[in-house]
Structure 1
Amino acid sequence: MKKTMKRVVAGALALSMTMLMAACGGSGESTVSSGSAAQPSSGSTASAATIKVWVSSGAEDDVYRETFEKMESELGITINDEYYPKDELDSKLQVAPVVGDSPDLIVADYLQMPAYYEAGMIQPVDEYISEDLKSDLLQSVIDESTYDGKMISTAQFDSGMAMWANKSMLEDAGIRIPTSYTDAWTKEEFEDALAKLKANGVEYPLYIRQNKPSSLYYTYMPVIASFGGDYVNRDTMLATGTLDSPETIAAYDYISWLCDQGYMNPACDYEDGFYGRKESAIALLGHWKYTEHVDALGDDAIIIPIPDFGHGVFTCTGSTVWAMTTAAVDNGVADAVWSVMEKSMDPEYITLVTDFNGAIPSRYTVMEADPELQEGGRLYLYREQLEANIVVLRPLTPAHMTIYSAMESVMADVIAGADAAEALSAAAQSIDEIIIENGWNIE
């Protein structure tokens, strides 16, 4: 993030917050600090502190509850953890500094952090994290946790993104099963596989989580990249000309084609089409359905690479991160928050979550101890793809929620039968209006 952009955004946000506080009859003082790095207190103790944690609600909620309960006992810290859907969490965080209700720790998608950092809400942790711990982290985790040249978060895992498949269904239909990104299906092979599955009695061969189009902002991105498209131009950070390019349109037209062929169910409003109802043989989903897939399908639950649609095979990277807020510094609980963040990186706590969600441990030493991530293991493809660096990242920008919301609508509309070119053109224009208005593409 360039300094000019930071000054423009931070200044605008500071002005709007000041005006809002005045309108509300506030004193004009804010709990948002300057964002300068806080030095750990020499000889201080984090015990007996109380911290507030806001978590972006998801499949791992119960794991986090167990995590925080164990940490309370081990660290002697009271942890008040609250869980909110992503959109609600974002809305709460936008007003939290103004109303004096900021959390001390945020656990959320890494892409939400740039906007919060620009607003002065996130405390860098460079002064806290040890070199020993940092050197054990996957490079992709360091990349997602670094913004404006500072490390602003930590992560217990990186995501695994490919396609889940029902091994027996593929074998029964006489379909070749790729085991590496290097032997992924071509577009033609993929379509042949779908046709064979359909002819073999599989009602809807492909499940792409039609009931939750917001998640397709992430899971469909490797497909978009393989068609040669993207959400924004990575140089200008604007959408027009890229989101509505022929390549991106082709990727979304493909969804319409899949629906027209009867290969996916556009009216699907449930989660278990692949692993429960078994009406699908392939699911475009990442690691987060690991437990459901393995519990329901056993050895039939395998992962295979996303096909090559013409521009190569891709996966996505990025995950849930833990970030200290500047409110923690103002509240005098920064050391306590860091003790929780640091504890979350212990192998015990990393494996607690990755054993549940099937993600890639953020630390090399933990990954090496997991049999499923060794060659021949069920999840080795995730590791292989990550180490081969065939990754595509969602745009790392304060405009993340703007793009995310727009693409949720586009995906829902296209699945429902809307024209992809029209939907993408309208989305590109609306996204750029907001980006330009806020100066989010200024270098």
Structure 2
Amino acid sequence: MTRSALHAEPNRRDLLKGLSAGVAAAALGGLSPAFAQSNPYAGLKGEPLELLIWDGGAFVDNMMASVQAKWSAVGGGTLKFRKVPFGDLDRAVRSANQGGAGPDVFLANAPNVITYKKLGLIEPVTDMFSKEDLEDFFPTVRLGSEIDGEFYGPSTNENGQALYYDRQLTDRYGIKLPETLADAWTWDEWLRVFKEIQAGERKRRGNEQFFALYPNMGNTGLFFSGIFPRSAGGKGSNAWKMVSDDGLKSSGYLNSAEALQGLQLIQDIHHKHAIAPVSTQKDMFYNDQVAFFCGVPLYLAPIKKARPDIDLATAPVPFIKTPIIHTGSFAWLVNRQTAKMGDAKLFVKFMGSPEGNDVVARGWTSPPIRKSMVADRPEFKTKPMALFIDSITEWSVPRPKVPGFSELDTMWSRLEADIVSGGDVKALADDAARRIDAQLRRYA
């Protein structure tokens, strides 16, 4: 990726800090062509912008206050926020332009970018990013927002996935686990270890409710559990794709023979192998009630707060046939109907720059969206957190890139719950595929 142009013009930034938005725009017009061309935000008017965002409480409010300060420093105007709960975010974006002027910028769930493009709601921002910029983005940041040769907006942060565990526990049993992707284990290898540790800890603790693994199911949709059926197939297979290339059919994909193997494993870890609880409470790992926790970097702080004496380590997530993880987060998108197109696009450009992204990625204690930014995040260059960067770089794929992702995700959650409850896996998968197909066909 490119090195940020934000750092190339310190005198220009100092000038903008001392000017009102209107004066800054006027001053920009009087600069020499060469100077104006080197300014990454040439043409910025400093207009107020309205953003539709997830209502994450004080945490997100404080983060966006920092974004406002950084945006103002390059000549941006006031940011106004229209906040909605996460569960209502997709609906709010779809209806944003009904009954009057909508917000200028959407902060949307990243897998829905293709849906909003299909519905004609968002404006491409390809012209805001150079070839070097696009190459600097981590793979899923780019792939998730690139559609038909156009780029629609950068993510807020990256994630990655890994198994968290306490090294003191594995040392107790003399077990050495893989620490790199090159040494990653299949599910068959992991199941032996999960069973050994669970049996040993239940005996040692006198507690039959201690479990080996919290797989993070039940409250995250496809993000974690969707990799079970996908990893059961080879790369490019129907199971790996989950949905057809045209995004209109899951029959023959979600319920293919290989995918069924992965879906059956979801049920088996809760029942046949009984190494995972049915509970959907993430605090089981925080409370030392499970040995392993499939998580993202965001969980690091609460883990250390809840368990200050933990010798925290990470291992690559298990796979059946093909290593795969889902990653990605929210995406910054421009409302196609905004009356402030210039400033809205420049704001999205800013949020994809190193300076703009750093505020949000650090706020979420997550990896940045650019490979070049990792050098300034030492926590992701050493164990245990470096594994997340490796998984982003080598194993990550977007969640299924289909119009109607929200519908797919909702129906997946129902399928997952029914499978965990003990229902017939093939019958459930066949029924889910039929219902998903009906929803996806609406986008034909």
Asked if Structure 1 and Structure 2 have the same fold, meaning a TM-score greater than 0.5 normalized by the shorter chain, the answer is yes
Q: What residue number does 2:325 align with?
A: 315
Per-residue deviation, 1:220: 1.9
After TM superposition, give the deviation of residue 273 of structure 1 in Å: 0.9
1:111-122 map, 5 Å = 111-122=111-122
Alpha-carbon shift at residue 358 of structure 1 (Å): 4.2
Shift of 1:131: 4.8
Which amino acid is 2:329 matched to? S
Residue equivalent to 1:16: none
Residues 387/231 of structure 1: CA separation in 2 closer, same or farther (3 Å cut): closer
Corresponding position: 1:341 with 2:348: yes
Q: CA deviation at 1:426?
A: 0.8
1:373/1:72 CA distance change after superposition, 3 Å: closer
Superposition CA RMSD, Å: 2.7
Amino acid paired to 1:146: E
1:235 corresponds to which letter in structure 2? Answer: D
After superposition, what is the alpha-carbon deviation per residue over 1:368-405, rounded to whole angstroms, capped at 9, x for unaligned?
2222332x4322222223333x3333221112112111
Look up the match of 2:380. 373
Please give the per-residue CA displacement for 1:121-158, whole angstroms capped at 9, x wherever unaligned. Answer: 10111223345544533343222221121111122432
Deviation at 1:72, TM superposition (A): 5.9
| Length-normalised TM-score, structure 1 | 0.79
Q: Equivalent residue for 1:93? A: 93
Identity of matched residues, %: 20
State how 1:147-166 maps to structure 2 within 5 Å.
Answer: 147-166=147-166
- Structure 1 residues 387 and 428: alpha-carbon distance in aligned structure 2, compared to 1, 3 A threshold: same
Q: Which amino acid aligns with 1:51?
A: L
Residue segments in structure 2 that go unaligned for 5+ positions in a row = 1-40, 203-209, 234-238
Match of 1:209 among 205, 209, 216: 216
Q: 1:301 aligns with which of 308, 312, 317?
A: 312
Quickly say closer, same or farther: Cα 1:338–1:408, change in 2 above 3 A: same
Q: Does 2:140 match 1:128? A: no
* Alignment match, 1:46: 45
Aligned-partner Cα distance in 2 for 1:135–1:189: 36
Residue 29 of structure 1 is matched in structure 2 by: none
Matched, 1:394 2:393: no
AA matched with 2:335: T
Corresponding residue for residue 254 of structure 1: 265
Q: Paired residue for 1:430, among 417, 428, 435?
A: 435
Number of aligned residues:
388
* Secondary structure, counterpart of 2:52 in structure 1: strand
| Contact 1:126–1:152 (Cα < 8 Å) also in 2 | yes
Match of 2:357 in 1: 350
Distance 2:135 2:412 in 1: 36
Query: Deviations 1:179-208 (Å, cap 9, x if unpaired)?
Result: 111111232321112112212225021112
Q: Distance in 1 between matches of 2:224 and 2:112?
A: 17
TM-score (norm 2): 0.79
**CA apart distance, 1:81:** 1.8
Question: Could you report, residue by residue, the CA deviation over 1:304-347 in whole angstroms, capped at 9, with x for unpaired residues?
Answer: 111232x132222333211111122xx2x223223332332343
Aligned to 2:228: 223
Task: Give me the whole-angstrom Cα distance separating, in 2, the residues matched to 1:372 and 1:294.
Answer: 14
Q: 1:207 to 1:398 in 2, by over 3 A?
A: same
The 2-side partners of 1:195 and 1:378 are apart by 24
- The amino acid of 2:358's aligned partner reads T
Give structure 1 stretches of 5+ with no counterpart: 1-41
